[in-house]
A and B are shown apart, each in its own frame.
Chain A
Amino acid sequence: MSDPATIDEVCAVAMAEAFRGDGEILCNPIGTTPIIGGRLARATFEPDMVMTDAVSVLAANILPVGDDEAPRLVEAWMPYRDVFDIVWSGRRHVVMGASQIDAHGNQNLAAIGDWRQPRAQLLGLRGAPGNLVNHATSYWVPNHSTRSFVPTVDVVSGPGYDRVAGLSRFIRDNHAIRRVVSNLGVFDFANDEQRMQLVSVHPGVTVDEVVDATGFELVVPDEVAESRQPTDEELRLIREVIDPHGLRKAEFR
């Protein structure tokens, strides 16, 4: 038996589950926990996904996170320009962070305050506007609080369900926020109103804690599951193959 899973490992598995059923697409997680999740999904239940080495190639082998020296089994050249072609082809599932996210899944990665002269300049719109209207997106929010789960985001980088409701059929057909994973639980938008709902709480977290840490009215089903535990094989892959140096711990300090 392995040592019991810690919260970072539960989150990595919850992130991996975002990719279940994706098949042969570009799995493009951004951030340590999402990358571990993506690589874990490909190493187990989604072997057909392709992934970049976070530089410029698609690597067919499972790379240790944060290791620039690890040998790559190169299967294609993937300079940045070609990533945009894949975005526009729709064959991609990205995981981005969100400094703020609201009940409809609107994401802010750009700025806090007035965008004309922000109180805090953040990363910017980055690729979020194009991602959301072309292919599946999930979010990773390691610091779940009323400051990150907010009634209204200051700037919309990635549009949520309310923002795309009036847009073209193409966009409505291609826009999908599969799941949001935070350090407290897992969320999706799979209800008639397409509002954020609680799917599961991580071990040791109560529903009330999640509700209290959320700055909008969360849809809470009568029965809320506990996020699933990693299997022994998943723990081995995370600890020995994908993140042998424990970089995943840094987001939980």
Chain B
Amino acid sequence: MTEDEVVAELESGMTIGIGGWGSRRKPMSLVRAIARSDLIDLTIVAYGGPDIGLLCATGKARKVVYGFVSLDSIPLEPHFRVARQTAAVDFAEFDEGAFYLGLLAAAHRVPFYPTRAGLGSDMLTMNPDLRTVASPYPDADGHHEELVAIPAFDIDVSLVHMNRADAGGNGQFLGPDLYFDDLFAKAAKRTFMSCEKVVPTGQLLDEGTFHTLKIPRLFVDGVVEAPRGAHFTECPPDYGRDEAFQREYAATAKDPEAWAAFRECYVDAPGHEAYLAAVDAREGSSS
């Protein structure tokens, strides 16, 4: 598939889950394809990075659901900061571990998973729809402990980026952390996977052990080959984060003219190849 063919499968108002973590192995070619589409009113569910920042800044997100939104080397995603400080988007902020349970509940098709995370903090204040549930089992003192019921995240489509995949959608991560990409795939009704390189199934074990094959094609509905598809986020061992480019992106949050130029040059570049050409043509680009 191409990025635009994936976007053609999406509809305004959908809830989109995005894999990766912060500014790490984000399916950026798919995110940009959404950003230049005519989709609106999306709900984005992610351990957020520039995916959430870009979809807020381009007006695609109506609501964001997240455990955090960070660029890692820049602790707070600056476009997300603007969106929050101008109340441009609705939001649901979860404790990072509680967010995991929302994915897990969706993947397991149960309505919620219980946790203590959130009790005593303002996570419950900030999410007035969150409910608690009493344990049906008494503790040693005979009390039925009150727990937070983290609801299953109702995700229509998930997007993840892998190092390798075969054409059938068996995905492979070769870096140090899968993050929660397998759960995003299992939690969603449909999942599209971009990857650095599509390889024949028989070559999936050439670069990693079978422990790296954590997303079977059962949970994947389409594959996009997108070399450097996670740029400017990191995608080890294929490439690290493009810190200079990330700084340039981050700086545009404070400068509407710079953002307009950035958007025209990179976000609105007509396709991933055009984007990479624009990136490589940057002054001072080393790649």
By a beta-carbon cutoff of 8 Å, the part of chain A in contact with chain B is: 55-57, 79-81, 84, 87-88, 110-111, 115-130, 132-134, 155-159, 163-164, 167-171
The answer to whether A80 touches B68, judged by C-beta atoms less than 8 angstroms apart, is no
Q: Tell which of B76, B141, B177 touches A56, judged by Cβ atoms closer than 8 Å.
A: B177
Contact of A116 with B120 at beta-carbon distance under 8 Å, contacts A122-B76, A123-B70 already known: no
Q: From A55, A79, A118, A170, give the contact of B178 (CB < 8 A).
A: A79
B94 contacts the other chain (CB 8 A): yes
Instruction: Name B150-178 residues within 8 Å CB distance of A.
Output: 176-178
Q: Can you pick out 10 interface pairs between chain A and chain B where the beta carbons lie within 8 Å of each other? A: A79-B178, A79-B179, A125-B94, A126-B95, A127-B96, A128-B95, A167-B119, A168-B116, A169-B139, A171-B116
A124 near B69: Cβ-Cβ < 8 Å:
yes
Most buried by B among A121, A169, A170: A121
- Residue of A88, A130, A158 with most chain B CB atoms under a 10 A cut-off: A130
- C-alpha gap A90/B146 in the complex (Å): 18
User: Across the interface, do A130 and B115 meet the contact criterion of CB distance under 8 Å?
Assistant: yes
Task: Known contacts A117-B84, A123-B76; decide if A129 and B180 are in contact (CB<8 Å).
Answer: no
Contact of A171 with B121 at beta-carbon distance under 8 Å, contacts A79-B177, A128-B95 already known = no
Q: Which residue of B lies closest to A164 (CB)?
A: B120
Identify the stretch in B85-93, B221-229, B242-250 within 8 Å (CB) of chain A at 4 or more residues. B85-93
Give the distance in Å from the alpha carbon of A222 to the alpha carbon of B27 in the complex: 59
Question: Could you tell me the distance in whole angstroms from the C-beta of B117 to the nearest C-beta in chain A?
Answer: 3
Total interface residues on B, CB under 8 Å, equals: 42
Of B117, B177, B179, the residue contacting A129 (CB under 8 A) is B117
Contact assessment for A130 and B76 in the assembled complex, using a CB-CB cutoff below 8 Å: no
The reply to whether A167 and B95 form a contact with Cβ atoms under 8 Å apart is no
Interface positions of B from 125 to 139, Cβ below 8 Å from A: 125-126, 139
Which residues of B75-89 have CB atoms within 8 Å of chain A's CB atoms? 75-76, 80-81, 84-87
- Within 8 Å by CB of B120, from A110, A111, A156, lies A156
Q: Which residues of B contact A (CB under 8 A)?
A: 21, 66-70, 75-76, 80-81, 84-87, 93-98, 100, 115-123, 125-126, 139, 141, 143, 145-146, 176-180
Alpha-carbon gap, A87 to B96, bound state (A): 11
Question: Could you say which residues of chain B place their CB within 8 Å of the CB of A115?
Answer: 122, 125-126
Which residues of chain A have C-beta atoms less than 8 A from B122's C-beta? Answer: 110, 115, 125, 155-157
**Are B121's CB and A126's CB within 8 A?**
no
How far is A117 from B123 in the complex, measured between Cα atoms in Å? 15
Q: In angstroms, how far is the closest chain A Cβ from the Cβ of B254?
A: 14
Contact A130 B85 (CB under 8 A): no
* Bound-state Cα–Cα, A156 to B125, Å: 10
A141 to B88, CA, bound (A): 31
Residue with the greatest number of chain A CB neighbours at <10 A, chosen from B69, B115, B119, B141: B119
* Alpha-carbon separation in the docked complex, A116 to B84 (Å): 8
B85 contacts A118, CB within 8 Å?
yes
Q: Give the chain A neighbours of B97 by CB distance below 8 A.
A: 84, 87-88, 127, 130
Closest to A130 in B: B117
Residues from chain A with a CB closer than 8 A to the CB of B95 are 125-130
User: When the two chains form their complex, are residues B119 and A171 in contact, meaning their CB atoms are under 8 A apart?
Assistant: yes
Question: Are the C-beta atoms of A163 and B121 separated by less than 8 Å?
Answer: yes
Is the CB–CB distance between B143 and A126 below 8 Å?
A: no
Chain A nearest CB from B151 CB (Å) reads 16
Q: Are A117 and B85 closer than 8 Å at their CB atoms?
A: yes
The complex places the Cα of A115 from the Cα of B139 at a distance, in Å, of 35
Which chain A positions have C-beta within 8 A of B21? Answer: 80
Residue of A nearest to B121 (CB): A129
Contact A157 B85 (CB under 8 A): no
- Whole-angstrom CA separation of A24 from B229 in the bound complex: 41
CA distance A129 to B98 in the complex (A): 9
Given contacts A84-B96, A127-B95, A169-B139, contact A121 B84 (CB under 8 A): yes
When chains A and B are docked, how far (Å) is the Cα of A168 from the Cα of B21? Answer: 32
Contact A125 B93 (CB under 8 A): yes
